[in-house]
Structure 1
Amino acid sequence: MKPKRILSNAQETYGKLAPAFAEYTDNVLFGDLWRRANLSLRERSLITVSALVAGEHTNQLPFHLELAKENGISEEELIEAMTHLAFYAGWPKAASALQAANDVFYKK
């Protein structure tokens, strides 16, 4: 059984500007890749958040931090992952990610 379909904001954000990009985001990325049975949604979220931290893509973190929580990862686990990544991805990248997490978790 495939995991639930993830709803993105791609159509709203990119639909007029880049309709193909929005379609690929919804149908291929979240419609196919995220629903493959080989990894759980929880595992996919942890991998994705880690990649975003390592790449310093903090603008994408708010969506994926919320999705990670929906997929069963606690705020404490996400903070611990970012702390761990500080030693592998770099201190400034982890600090930027922690600031993004602070904004998502505590400034709602």
Structure 2
Amino acid sequence: MSMTEQSSAQRMLGGFADKLVALTDDVLFADVWERSELAPRDRSLITIAALVAGGNTEQLSFHLDLGRRNGLTEAELVEAITHLAFYSGWPRAMSAITAARTAFASDDGAGG
């Protein structure tokens, strides 16, 4: 990321929650996500599963996009959410699949 380009966290919370932005950018994405012990594709799938299981659809759109950039296909993501319905609950999976449908529709022609 260039010095003038803002991260998602900076755009959302910069000037309001600067420490949370710094932790998100410097620890979570610049350190944890860059560790070599798991591939980015695997980290994305794990993160998406955790968000679905926790019912955290607010963060899902960003991570679905990141997952696709990290090599997951839309079909794989739909299948993961379908699988999670039986482990994390039907309502959470339905909320997640609705968020995925919206995210994928807004990106028509942009990959995946």
TM-score, scaled relative to structure 2: 0.88
Q: Deviations over 1:7-63 (max 9, x none)?
A: 841111111111010000000000000000000000000000000000000010000
d(CA) in 2 for partners of 1:47, 1:98 = 16
Distance 1:8 1:45, change over 3 A: farther
SS of equivalent to 1:27: helix
d(CA) in 1 for partners of 2:83, 2:45 = 12
Q: How does 1:78-93 map to 2 (within 5 A)?
A: 78-93=77-92
Q: Which aligned runs of 4 or more in structure 1 are off by greater than 2 angstroms?
A: none
Correspondence for 1:38 = 37
When the two structures are aligned, how many residues end up with a matched partner? 102
Q: Does 1:11 align with 2:10?
A: yes
Identity of aligned residues (%): 53
Aligned-residue Cα RMSD (Å) equals: 1.1
Where in structure 2 are there 5+ consecutive unaligned residues? 1-5, 108-112
TM-score, scaled relative to structure 1: 0.91
The one-letter code matched in structure 2 to 1:65 is L
